[in-house]
Amino acid sequence: MCYQGAVSEEESKPSVRMVTIGPEHAGQRIDNFLRTELKGAPKSLIYRVLRTGEVRVNKGRAKPETRLAAGDVVRIPPVRLSEAMPVRVGEALKGSLEEAVLFEDEALLVIDKPAGLAVHAGSGVNVGVIEALRAARPEQKGLELGHRLDRETSGVLVLAKTRPALMELHELLRGDSVKKSYRALVRGAWPDRLREVDAPLAKNNLRGGERVVEVQGDGKEARTLFRVLERFHGATLVEAMPVTGRTHQIRVHAAHAGHPLAGDDKYGDPEFDRALKACGLGRLFLHAARIQIPRRGQKDLRVEAALPAELEQVLSALRARQAGGA
């Protein structure tokens, strides 16, 4: 991360920090940024220091929804984390995540994230992947998420173990050299000719404050490549390869194309999902199957995560139904 030293008269107070935002945090909400900077601080404490004006961006008061820009200077106040209840992480969760490790070296940790587990705490979630791994590996002080996966998405998740590794990974992710591949089951017959969805995306606060992403002309550029893998009666298994990395990108692009993902309770088709329950579908059918990361002076890192058993079961049921002419 591109942090610089303190630049104000408050430098003499060691508990107050002035942080200059690097490009890897451009566009991030200040409340999410503070969750990373104030490890262990509960959500209530973060919103309290924001509400009281103790957090400032370029000397001005910041609201939770304030978006950061590269070059912004953020004042982070002294926070006594002893005020908070400690995060409790069960041994079973720690163990399951250690068993989910797909690759590890001195710089990166790659795991097969299970569906239903958030990558970080927040919005009613007390413990996510990052909190659990930090609890399991207290000696690894620099452990950070390299990117995000939706809570209900399973598969390859990359974490950085050092600050330099995180900076390099973010730089690669801002370009187009990191290749990601997902498996998704969508409604209907996806056309072979539809190989790319290029539609800008914007975040909106709708449905009682729940964040919803929509295709919008003035949104951020978003591109996803698609390839048909297997066809069933009323559904298609596709490979989705995001070129950009917007929130909910694959889910929204598939729905925009008229083929929403199976099990998607936000952008999907409830009738389609009900029909698939008979095949054992009980979650979002989206799985991060593979990532390829270039590495300086080394062969590209390529890591794959097999489709989870519960999703393989759905495909087996669809194949059996199709073979039987159902």
Q: Which residues are catalytic?
A: 150
Of the candidates 123, 316, 129, the one whose C-alpha atom is nearest the C-alpha of residue 237 is: 316
Q: Which two tokens stand for residue 80?
A: 């006594």
Paired sense of beta strands 73-76 and 17-20, if any = antiparallel
Round to whole Å and give the CA distance between 38 and 44: 12
Cβ atoms of 314 and 279 within 8 Å: the answer is: yes
HEC sequence for 142-158: CCEECCCCCCCCEEEEE
The beta strands (E) that lie in the chain are given as 17-20, 56-57, 60-61, 73-76, 101-104, 108-113, 144-145, 154-160, 179-187, 196-198, 201-206, 210-215, 223-232, 235-242, 286-295, 298-304
Lookup: tokens for 148: 């995000």
Half-sphere exposure of 26 (CA within 13 A, CB side): 10
Q: Is residue 190 a contact partner of residue 256, using CB atoms and an 8 Å limit?
A: no
- DSSP annotation of 200 reads -
Exposure string for 117-136, b = 16+ CB within 10 A, e = fewer = bbbbbeeeeebbbbbbbbbb
